Amino acid sequence: EMLDGEPAFQGNSEIEVYAKITRLQYSCPSFFSDPAVDLIARLLEPIAEKRLGNLLHGSADIQAQPYFEGFDFQMLYDEKLPAPHIPPAMNAETSKRGGSKR
């Protein structure tokens, strides 16, 4: 969802969505990079003992993936990364109504 803005598993009902999740009915969009596809496949590994993040080095195994090459996790931990998106501030009128004017 973070890569293309759409939920990974979609359906016409919650039951359909849950069924797709349990059967791992998912394929990445064609515009995803190879490292992104590989990361997602490893995170969705159905066998827990083989799943990325559940291995010997835990989250360090995730951070070491090619998808995250060049990403500074220390800056993330130190809360020094700029926000990737800052939504516009709401004024008092829109805040009272719970949203913006349409």
DSSP symbol at 12: S
Residue with tokens 């827990």, as numbered in its chain: 48
% residues pLDDT > 90 (the chain)? 61
For residue 7, give both structure tokens.
């939920």
Contacts (Cβ under 8 Å, ≥6 apart) of 19? 11, 25
Question: pLDDT by residue (tens digit) across 78-101?
Answer: 999 998 888 898 876 655 555 554
Model confidence at 3: pLDDT above 60? yes
What's the whole-number mean pLDDT along residues 36-64?
94
Hey, where are the domains in the chain?
32-97
Model confidence at 26: pLDDT above 90? no
Task: Report the distance separating Cα 2 and Cα 49, nearest Å.
Answer: 26
